[in-house]
Amino acid sequence: MPRELLAVAPRKPVLVEYEEPPLKPNQVRIKSILSAEKHGTTLLIYRGLSPFSEKAFDPDIGLFMPKCEGKGWTVSFPIKLGNMTVGVVIEVGSQVKRFKLGDRVYGYLPIRETHTVDEDKINLAPPELSDEEIVCIDPAAVALMAVREGHVRLGDTVAVFGLGAIGLMTVQMAKLSGAMLVIGVEPIERRRELAKRYGADVVIDPRECDAGLEIRKATGWKGVDISIETSGSYSALHQAIRGTRYGGTIVPVSWYHGEAKGLNLGEEWHFNRQIMVSGARVESEPYRDYPLWDRRRVYETVINLFRRKLLRVDGMLSPKVHFNDVVEAYRLLDEKPEETIKLGVKYS
């Protein structure tokens, strides 16, 4: 029987056998080739630390509220793990029109050996894109939103806090947008080195210095025009505020949790008249620049950037493990993030 990766309780990943349901007329069956995980969002849920652990989000009023049976968005264990998967179609329903046997497809699908999904939940994989590029479409889309929300323009100076997959994509997007100076801030050395390969002009280890102060020094004591915070650390958000110039913009991309330890809004934030822009979440529509931009355009743009080889993913999927070893690898990215960037899972 095929297997899938589940968290049966917080921080308890297991491989579990399952049976695929009968194929409906509008569905396709897929055999997985490569999957990837979303280290920030999914790990927060996996650890039992997300707001969904205690509350439910009511989309009708836009608020988290006490959990009520059948009301709002919530999460309960066991949960499926994984973010994106690319695979091959091995079976098609009688009414399926968009796909045929052997097509390479992708979508927001968990880490499991096979998938049975409605045809409108997946997309045909562009032949010009590698499997590795396809499973990095998600962080690239978030990065594109962050750079657009920050209005990064030709000649700007930009700091990117957190150099995981989203941060590394943001470094590249900022350079593509014409940023004159891009500074990466990250405590993990391997991520800083990859950021330099991807175009970062300066990288800073926040454990070794005052990151906000170093950014000021690197910009002639002005600070950067835009800071984009992707790490989910309140301390990093505080340093982003400190490193951003008077009247500059801060874009928090991360899904934060818990008490805001390390963030003091009574210091630079109170005096420097900055702008903080939320909304880099791709799923939150309509966008501020709707109808010019919507989710479809974001993904089309990312795919075209990959087609033109303007975005790099070499070295980003780390570790890249076989499906049989995914439980141990998942524990690694949870317990030893310094040894990881973005988990990739291959099936053969």
Q: Determine whether domain 3-131+315-346 maps to CATH 3.90.180.10.
A: yes
Dist CA 108 CA 143 (whole Å) = 17
Q: Which fold is adopted by the domain 138-276?
A: Rossmann fold (3.40.50)
Dist CA 2 CA 286 (whole Å) = 38
> Which pLDDT belongs to residue 72?
85
> Which pLDDT belongs to residue 52?
87
Average pLDDT per consecutive 10 residues, the chain (348 residues; last block may be shorter): 97 97 98 95 90 89 84 89 98 98 98 98 98 98 96 98 98 98 98 98 98 98 98 96 98 90 93 90 88 96 98 97 98 93 97
Helix axes 165-176, 137-149, angle to 10 degrees: 50
> Which pLDDT belongs to residue 200?
99
> Which pLDDT belongs to residue 165?
97
Report the half-sphere exposure of 157 (CA within 13 A, side-chain side): 20
Amino acid at 1: M
Dist CA 16 CA 284 (whole Å) = 32
User: Rg (Cα) of the chain, in Å, rounded?
Assistant: 21
pLDDT tens digit sequence for 232-263? 999 999 999 999 999 999 999 988 888 899 99
Report the predicted TM-score, pTM, of the whole model to 2 decimal places: 0.95
> Which pLDDT belongs to residue 69?
65
> Which pLDDT belongs to residue 70?
65
Dist CA 84 CA 139 (whole Å) = 10
* E-assigned strand segments in the chain: 3-9, 12-17, 27-36, 55-58, 63-66, 79-80, 84-92, 104-107, 114-118, 123-124, 157-161, 181-185, 202-204, 224-229, 244-252, 275-276, 317-322, 342-346
Cis check: omega of the bond before 291, within 30 degrees of 0 = yes
Name the residue ranges covered by the structural domains of the chain: 3-131+315-346, 138-276
Helix (H, G, I), strand (E, B) or coil at 162: coil
